[in-house]
Chain A
Amino acid sequence: MMKHHSLAPTKPKRVVILGASGFVARALARCLAEGGIETLAIGSSQVDLLESGSATKLQEIIRPDDALVITSALTPEKGKDVRAFMKNLTMVNHLCAFFEKARCAHVVYLSSDAVYDDSTALVRETTPRTGLGLYGLMHVGREEMLQYASNKSKIPLCVVRPCAIYGAGDTHNSYGPNRFVRSAIKDRKITLFGNGEERRDHVYIRDVSRFLALCLEHRTEGAVNLVTGNAISFYDLAQRIVKLCPHKVELEWLPRATPITHRHFDVSLRLKEFPSFQCTPLETGLAETFQELVSQA
């Protein structure tokens, strides 16, 4: 269940974002700045959460009335192994040490839909979090660690679990909208596994930052999936991107390495808890992403 500690939207005094150089952190900082909210983005060069002294450093920076957004993580392209898993847990271990010594007003943790495995037909917040590989389990572990610390320190914790995020500025280039758009612009082709049958939900980066800002303004507590509720096959996704291109784009097919799985979400909880929030239609998000990437190119 979710709780909004501020029923009327109230600007946080200041938002401290951990993981400053990440895709989401940069977009969120921009979004908050546009909304006139003071923001401090902290990267690993300033406070390296892998270091045991990081808790003390954070104590010097974070004020009791700050809201803290945690986006720091080693993402899958930086390693899916046990070492990356342990590093990710270590970061949050140090954050928990910080919560033992100091206070802040609100914590938002950017988790992932990888906390759920692939076996459920319709995923919702109450779906058991069995974790998709070590990366998914890492987020499950981090959520639990932060929940424990939050309960102990009585700081409201909001866990946001987005599905795959797309938009210009993404550094991951994983299989999906961003890679497809880049490849369509640069190589004039999009490569699909199998026939691109897998259906997935994709959320636009601007929606992610808007949604996180909403959670901050309402001082929301609880866990929520940030998804559109409209899954689409990779083939259909590729076709929509092809239509955006002024030039011919070829679809290339590679043998499938894994069995076909789909992922759909029940978005009822988000609709109830955030009734005014609407996701950007995929066509709009893709078109904006395409334009930005073209202008960058």
Chain B
Amino acid sequence: MIGFIGLSHLGIVYSLATAAKGFEVLGFDPDPALCAGLSAGKLPVSEPGLEELLHRHRSRIRFSAAVAELAKCDLVFFSRDVPTDQANRSDLDALNGLIDSVAANISQTATVVILCQVPPGFTRSRKSALACRGVKWGGQLFYQVETLVFGNAVERALHPERFIIGCADPRTRLPKSYADWLAAFGCPLLPMRYESAELAKIAINLFLVSTVATTNTLAELCEKLGADWSEIAPALRLDKRIGPHAYLSPGLGIAGGNLERDLITVKQLSGEYGAEAGVVDAWLRDSQYRCDWALRKVHALVLSATEDPTLAIWGLAYKANTHSTKNSPALALIEALAPFARVAYDPQVKLIPTADASVRLAGSALEGCRGADALIVMTPWPEFLKIEPVKIKAVMKGGVLIDPFGGLDQTACVEAGFSYHRLGAPAIGFSL
């Protein structure tokens, strides 16, 4: 039996992926209501393919809040997501509390794997604490890098590119229970010391951030120079040093919390150990600037020209295929436009987590932009791309369409009578 301790996004996705690989799984969480909900097939998180995964493999997975049941597991994963505060700093209290509260119930021979987003040094520091709390525990402790991506988590959990495994001593053979689990996924294994693995996770994210920042810097120049980034990106993808999967789509900075967390962790570590991390400050500054791109456009195109405008905002989640609004540019935009009439619509997010009650939530995309002077597409949900621009124009009052991600058919938008604005390319179409 394989146990997953902590059933947040990470634990739910990994426990179901494990069941899908044919293992018997126990999903444990101290919250009985959460376990009851999951047992009844109610998922508290949204991910493409997750419901189907639960439905198809529910015979091999059981959810329980009874801590004693963990004793049956010979392999347990700590799988609770580590939350971040408003400054994007990790709050490890809940994870530490969870480890302390269950340690004594873990089988004395069980292998323990920490799957959570922890800073370098965490796993080694917890090794002795774990042994101390679970008095009889004599198993091995590992840290495993999770590289789930919101909106694509199921696919990445079922078909990982590789497993990065943090070990007390990477020369030691992996215990059979853990080795069998790893083998089921058929991907390369990279054992290394704890600290290397913990830093590897951060390294992956920082390389992504550097690509995002570079893309956005050049995309902005494209807008001003009359170049089009969408013409340049394919050339970069064919460069072996950059690659076909590089993050080359312009965006509104980094959001979601995980990348921001790792940037803050590197800043903290650099400060503590005296390493140069000025580039991290530059990335953070850059990200904030990109986040405000739509706000600058709204001021320049709408607020400077229209009195008492109504603004339609499509998309509240920080990206498509997720319900997460952590550091969402859409929410920042809505807040920054407080004096103006705003109508928002999102296929997944049905509550705006702000104190501002003056934002109206629409029941559909087209209802959301009825009578609006401008439409701003802040999340490129696939649902939006299916709506014909001419239908959007027909219900709107004005003709400004701000589509940062370029999801809509820009030619059709212009033909429908919009002035069309996206990241990485000059504006096209009619002005107000």
What is A's interface to B at a CB cutoff of 8 Å?
122, 124, 126, 229, 266-268, 271-272, 275-276, 278, 281
Contacts and interface: CB of A to CB of B under 8 A. Distances in A.
A224 B336 CA distance: 16
Contact of B337 (A126, A266, A275, A278): A275
B246 interface: no
Give the secondary structure class of B's interface. helix
A229 B303 contact: no
Interface string B141-173: 000000000000000000000000000000000
B340 interface: yes
Contacts of B390: none
Main secondary structure of the interface of A (DSSP, over half): loop
A113 B403 CA distance: 33
Contacts of B296: 229, 267-268, 271
B295 A268 contact: yes
Interface in B315-358: 335-340
Contacts of A276: 339
Contacts of B289: 122, 124, 266, 268
A121 to B, nearest CB: 10
A226 B339 CA distance: 20
B21 interface: no
Nearest to B338: A275
Contacts of B288: 268
A275 B340 contact: yes
Nearest to A276: B339
Nearest to A273: B336
Given A126-B285, A266-B289, A271-B295, A278 B336 contact: no
Interface of B: 285, 288-289, 292, 295-296, 299, 303-304, 335-340
Given A266-B289, A268-B292, A268-B295, A275 B304 contact: no
A271 B299 contact: yes
B285 A275 contact: no
A283 to B, nearest CB: 13
A123 B304 CA distance: 22
Contacts of B338: 275
Contact of A271 (B285, B336, B340): B336
Given A122-B289, A266-B289, A272 B336 contact: yes
A281 B305 CA distance: 11
Nearest to B291: A268
A9 to B, nearest CB: 11
A267 B295 CA distance: 10
